[in-house]
Amino acid sequence: MSTAQFPTTPGTCFKFTVNSADQAAQLIREKLGDSARVLSVRNVEAGGMFGFLSAPKLEVVAQIVSAEPAAPALEQPKATVSLNAVSSETAAPGAQVALKASRATLRMPQQSLTTLLRRSGFSEKLLLRLFESPAWLALNEMPLHRALVETGRHLRELAESRHEPAPLTRAAFLGTPGVGRTTALCKWLANDVFRKARIGHVVTAEFDRPNPTGPLPVFCEALGVPMAHFPASTQPATPGGFVYFDLPGLSLRNPADNAAIAEFLAREQIAQRVLVLNAAYDHAALRAGYAAGRTLGATHVVFTHLDEVTQWGRLWDYLIDGDLQPLFLATGPSLTGDSELDALDAVARRTLPVAAEPEEADADGEPADETSTFNTAA
C-alpha cells in the first residue's frame, strides 16, 4: 500500500487487507485520519495452492466521514476503532464482524498486554472486541498482572451473558469421524449417572452409513444404562430421565450425506443437539465442523483432545461469539474423567490468571495475584 495520504473527500470508501488488529488501527490513523469510520471487517483466507497453510487476514472497509482540522504538530494522532459482532443469522460463524464508528479517540493498547494475549492464542477478531470494550483504556492503566486478571473476568462475563445453562434430557451427539464423539457421550453419561444419579437409556442409529459404537455398549452395561439400536423408544422411560443418541459421523465433503441425520432429528423432534469438535484441529477444520453442526441445528458444543492443545486461547472465539452453549471440555481419553465441566473457568485458568480470593488479599487490601500464571506456549 502506498505511503501517500488517501483523498479525504467525505463519503469516500476504501477497502484494504491487513494481518492484525494493530495494523488495521495504524492504517486507519495514518491513511484516513481521525475523521474516518470503519464500516466492516471480516476474516479472509489466503488464496493460492498453499493458502490453507497461511493465517487468515482481516479485510477492512473504511469511509471518510468529514474533513477534520489538522492536529497540532506536537500532538500525536490517535486511532478510533470500535467493534460490534454481527448476529449469527447474517454471518457465518467465525467469518464476519462489524465495526461501528465513534468520534471519541482510543489510545493504542500497550504492546506488552496485546503481545501476551496473542501468545496465549487470542485471535485478531477477539483482540478487536477487546479494543472496543469501554474497559480497555482502564485495563492499560493497570499493572500488567492486574490487567490480565481483569481481562479474564471481562471475558467470562461476556461468555456467561450469552449462554443460559439448560440440562440435557433428549440430546443427540454429532460430529465428524475421529473427533471423539462416542467418548464424549461416555464422559457425559458418567457425569449423569455418578454425579447426578440420573437414569435413562442410549439409542444408537446407523441409517445409510455404519456407526461403530466402540466402547459404548460395554460402558453402558457397566453403568447399568440400557442401550438399544434404532428403531427404539426415543422418549425417556421415567420422569426426569434422559435419552442420548449416538449417530453416524457427519460429512464435510458432501453435506447431502447428512440428510438422513437431519431427517431423523426432525422426525423424532430432538431439539438438543451436541456438536463434538476436536480442539487439536487447525482453525479451518474447526470452522468447517462448527458450520456443519450449525447447519444441523446444534445447540451445545464439546471440545475434545485438549490434552494435545497448548494454546486454549482460540476457544474464546467460540465461547464468546459462538451461538452454541459449551457443555464441557474433554482433557484426556478416560471415559469417566479427564473433563472440565465449567468450560469458561477452565479456559480462563489456562489463558489468563485467576484473581485470588478475598481472604488472600495482601496487607494493602489488594488481591495477591502477582504470582498468577497463564499459558503462553507457542
Q: How far apart (Å, rounded) are the C-alpha atoms in residues 190 and 243?
A: 14
One-letter amino acid for residue 221 of the chain: E
pLDDT at 163: 58
In which residue ranges of the chain is CATH 3.40.50.300 found?
A: 170-351
pLDDT-based confidence at 1, cuts 50/70/90? very low
* Residue range 105-118, pLDDT digits in tens: 334 444 567 887 87
> Given a cut of 50, is residue 60 above it in pLDDT?
yes
Beta strands in 270-375 (DSSP E): 272-278, 300-304, 325-330, 339-340
* Residue range 282-329, pLDDT digits in tens: 888 999 999 999 999 999 999 999 999 888 888 888 888 778 989 999
Q: How far apart (Å, rounded) are the C-alpha atoms in residues 156 and 287?
A: 22
Q: How far apart (Å, rounded) are the C-alpha atoms in residues 61 and 66?
A: 16
pLDDT at 66: 61
One-letter amino acid for residue 304 of the chain: T
Q: How far apart (Å, rounded) are the C-alpha atoms in residues 98 and 256?
A: 32
Residues found in the chain:
378
pLDDT at 357: 39
The three-class DSSP label of residue 40 is strand
pLDDT-based confidence at 192, cuts 50/70/90? very high
Q: How far apart (Å, rounded) are the C-alpha atoms in residues 193 and 207?
A: 28
Instruction: For residue 347, count other CB atoms closer than 10 A to its CB.
Output: 28
Residue 251 phi/psi, 5-degree rounding, is -105, 130
Cell of 306: 485438549
> Given a cut of 60, is residue 56 above it in pLDDT?
yes
Q: Between the ranges 56-60, 216-220, 332-336, where is the mean pLDDT highest?
A: 216-220
Dihedral sign (CA 37, 42, 47, 53) = positive
- What CATH architecture applies to the domain 170-351? 3-Layer(aba) Sandwich (3.40)
**What's the mean pLDDT when you consider all of the chain?**
75
153-162, 236-245, 247-256: lowest mean pLDDT where? Answer: 153-162
One-letter amino acid for residue 240 of the chain: G
Q: How far apart (Å, rounded) are the C-alpha atoms in residues 59 and 41?
A: 5
Q: How far apart (Å, rounded) are the C-alpha atoms in residues 52 and 205?
A: 35
Burial category of 10 from C-beta neighbours within 10 Å (exposed 0-12, middle 13-18, buried 19 and up):
exposed
pLDDT-based confidence at 171, cuts 50/70/90? very high
Q: How far apart (Å, rounded) are the C-alpha atoms in residues 78 and 25?
A: 9
pLDDT at 318: 87
Place of cell 501476551: 116
What's the pTM value of the predicted model, to 2 decimals? Answer: 0.63
